[in-house]
Amino acid sequence: MRPNEKAAQRLGGGLGGGNGTGRGGQSRSNRHYSTFDLRAQPRHGEIRGDTWVKNVRASVHQLRTPPAWAVDCADLDAAEQAGARYVVILDLESLATFWASIEEIRRHGFVLDRGHGKQLALCLDRWKNSKAEAAIASEPVEQLSLWGGRR
């Protein structure tokens, strides 16, 4: 059996053959899966709950001008399709963590391609130190009018 056939079998699929039953004769069709696409996974990093975790080295991966972290657009799409709402970048050199919601990255990020494919970058001042701070930053801000009333 080839490696990808083994992986498909572990996920309850397969490439034909067999009688479609799992252990104890139970039909595989009775299994319950998440509504998220199990195949949509980022090529870099991993999904943990609602967070895409990406390990990097700042000396290699951090943008210098402007100071920012960039993520691959296809990876960001895949992470979102897999159920991620947040991105955390762990700098393996300083052990610092940088948190942002995917919404924040899409709203305030800028597109670039410096030879590594299309990326979306978010300036360092927009990244937060914790998931809680990232959640607060992504909430819409209610703007009051000059005369004290709500707009």
Is 28 a domain residue?
no
Tell me whether residue 100 is in a domain: yes
Asked if the structure places residue 54 within a domain, the reply is: yes
In whole angstroms, give the CA distance from residue 55 to residue 73: 17
Helices within the chain (DSSP H only):
3-10, 58-61, 73-81, 102-108, 131-138
**Which of 95, 97, 91 is CA-nearest to residue 128?**
97
CA distance 22 to 18: 10
User: What average pLDDT does the segment 38-53 reach?
Assistant: 87
Instruction: Give the chain's domain count.
Output: 1
SS3 1: coil
Range of the domain at 111: 34-131
Averaged over 26-45, what is the pLDDT? 58
The answer to whether residue 150 is domain-embedded is no
**18 within a domain of the structure (yes/no):** no
Model confidence over 129-147: pLDDT tens digits?
Answer: 999 999 998 877 666 667 7
In a domain, 38, yes or no: yes
| Mean pLDDT score across all residues of the chain | 79
Q: What per-residue confidence (pLDDT) applies to 22?
A: 43
Span 84-133, pLDDT tens digits: 999 999 999 999 999 999 999 999 999 999 888 899 999 999 999 999 99
Share of the chain above pLDDT 90, in %: 57
